[in-house]
Amino acid sequence: MAWYQSEIFWTVVKIALTFFVLITGAAYYTLMERKWAGYFQDRYGPNRAGWGGFFQPLADGIKFLTKMETIPRNVDTVLFLLAPAVSVVSAILLWAAIPFTPVLNLGPKAEPILGSQQFILQTLNPNAGILFVFAIGSLAVYGIMLAGWSSNNKYSLLGSVRSTAQMISYELTLGMSVIPIVLMAGHLDLYKIIEAQKETWFLFTLPGFIAFWLFVISMFAETNRLPFDLAEAESELVVGFHTEYGGFKFALFFIAEYMNMITLSFLAALLFLGGWNIPFFIPVNLHGEWWAPLVGVFFYVLKALFFVFLFVWVRWSLPRFRYDQLMHLGWRVLLPIALANIFLAGIYVYVG
C-alpha cells in the first residue's frame, strides 16, 4: 500500500484541513462581527485594510504578533503562560469529533488515492462522541481560572471566579439539555445522532424543542458572551480575567472564544436541526451521485451560520444580566426545567 493510501496520512490531512478552516473561520468571524455591529449601530465597520476591510483579520494578526510581550511582576509565570494555551488547545480539540460530512461514496476511481471508496471529514469518531465533546469542553474553564489566579490582579481574579462559577453552573444545564437528544437518538455517537434525524429533526419534538432553548441559552453563558459576559464586564472589572494579558497571549484567548462559538453553532445544528439532513429531502438518495451529500453539507453550514449570526445579534441587542440574576436563572429556572425535560423525554421515547 502506498504512503498516500494509509489511514495515518489521511488523518493528518483531515487535522490540517480542519485546523486551517477553524483558524481562518475564527479570524473572519471577528471581521463579520465588527461589520454587523457597525450595521446594527448605523456606523461603518472595518473598511480600510484590504477591500472593504477584507484583510482586517490579517492586519490584526500582524499587530498581535509584533506587539511587545510583557509579563507583570509577581505573577506565577508558568501558569500565566499556560492559561491561554489551555484555552485555545481545548477549543481546537473539540473539532476532532464533529462530523462535517456524511460518508461520501466516491466510487472506484477514489480507491487508488484514498485506499478505499469512502471518505468522511471527521478526524476522530469515538463511540461516545458527545461525551468527548463535553469532557474536552469542560477543560476551558481551567484556562480562564488559571489566567485570573496567576495574574496577581484583583480584577482578574474576580473575573476568573465569576467565570468559573458561571461555566460550571451552566455546564450542568448544557449537559442535561443533551440527554433528551441522546435518549431519542439511542446513541452517543454524533454521526448516528445526525442519522437518527433523517425523517424528523429533534427540534420538532416537544422534548427536543425544550432542550433546544435550554442549549441555546446555556451556550451563551458557556462562551461568556452577552448577556452573560460577567467575566469580562468592562464597566466593573476593566476587562476581567485577561486584564494583564497583551500581545499574542491575549490573541489566544480571543481566538479560543470565537472558536468555541463556532463549535457550539455546529453542535446546535447537529443536535437539533438534523445536521446535513434536510426535511423532505435526503441528499444521499439523489440518484446515487457522489456529490449529492454535499448538498446536505451546504445546508448544514447554513444552519451553523445562523447560530454564528445569533451570537452577534444577541450581543448588540440585549443588556448584561446582573450576576445574581445570572445565577438565579441557571440554578433555579433552567436546571429544574432541564431535569423535568429528561423525564418528559423518557416518557416520549417509551410511548413512541
Question: Distances in Å between the alpha carbon of 90 and those of 65, 72, 117, 140, 329?
Answer: 21, 25, 32, 6, 27
- Residue 290's pLDDT is what? 65
Q: Are 22 and 304 in contact (CB under 8 A)?
A: no
CA–CA separation, 219 and 290 (whole Å): 35
Confidence of residue 288 (pLDDT cuts 50, 70, 90): low
CA–CA separation, 51 and 32 (whole Å): 14
- Residue 302's pLDDT is what? 93
Q: What values do phi and psi take at 250, rounded to 5?
A: -65, -40
Letter for the amino acid at 206?
Answer: L
Average pLDDT of the residues in 81-105: 88
Domain boundaries, position 184: 3-351
pLDDT higher than 80, residue 110: no
Q: What values do phi and psi take at 174, rounded to 5?
A: -60, -45
Average pLDDT over all residues of the chain: 86
Of the candidate ranges 50-59, 100-109, 143-152, the one whose mean pLDDT is the lowest: 100-109
Q: Tell which wins on pLDDT, 113 or 189.
A: 189
CA–CA separation, 4 and 245 (whole Å): 43
Average pLDDT of the residues in 251-255: 88
Q: Are 244 and 68 in contact (CB under 8 A)?
A: no
pTM, full prediction: 0.91
Q: What is the DSSP string of 131-148?
A: HHHHHHHTTHHHHHHHHH
pLDDT higher than 80, residue 199: yes
Average pLDDT of the residues in 15-35: 89
- Residue 178's pLDDT is what? 95
Query: How many residues would you count in the chain?
Result: 352
Q: Are 227 and 216 in contact (CB under 8 A)?
A: no
Q: How many distinct structural domains can be found in the chain?
A: 1
Range from 5-9, 108-112, 115-119 that averages highest in pLDDT = 5-9
Estimate to the nearest angstrom the gap between the alpha carbon of 225 and the chain centroid: 12
Confidence of residue 15 (pLDDT cuts 50, 70, 90): confident
Confidence of residue 347 (pLDDT cuts 50, 70, 90): very high
CA–CA separation, 304 and 262 (whole Å): 8
pLDDT higher than 70, residue 75: yes
pLDDT higher than 90, residue 270: yes
Average pLDDT of the residues in 197-206: 90
Asked, as a colleague might, if the bond just before 126 is cis with ω within 30 of 0, I would say no
- Residue 123's pLDDT is what? 83
Average pLDDT of the residues in 46-51: 86
CA–CA separation, 277 and 50 (whole Å): 37
Contacts of 235 (CB under 8 A, 6+ apart): none
CA–CA separation, 47 and 128 (whole Å): 45
Confidence of residue 282 (pLDDT cuts 50, 70, 90): low
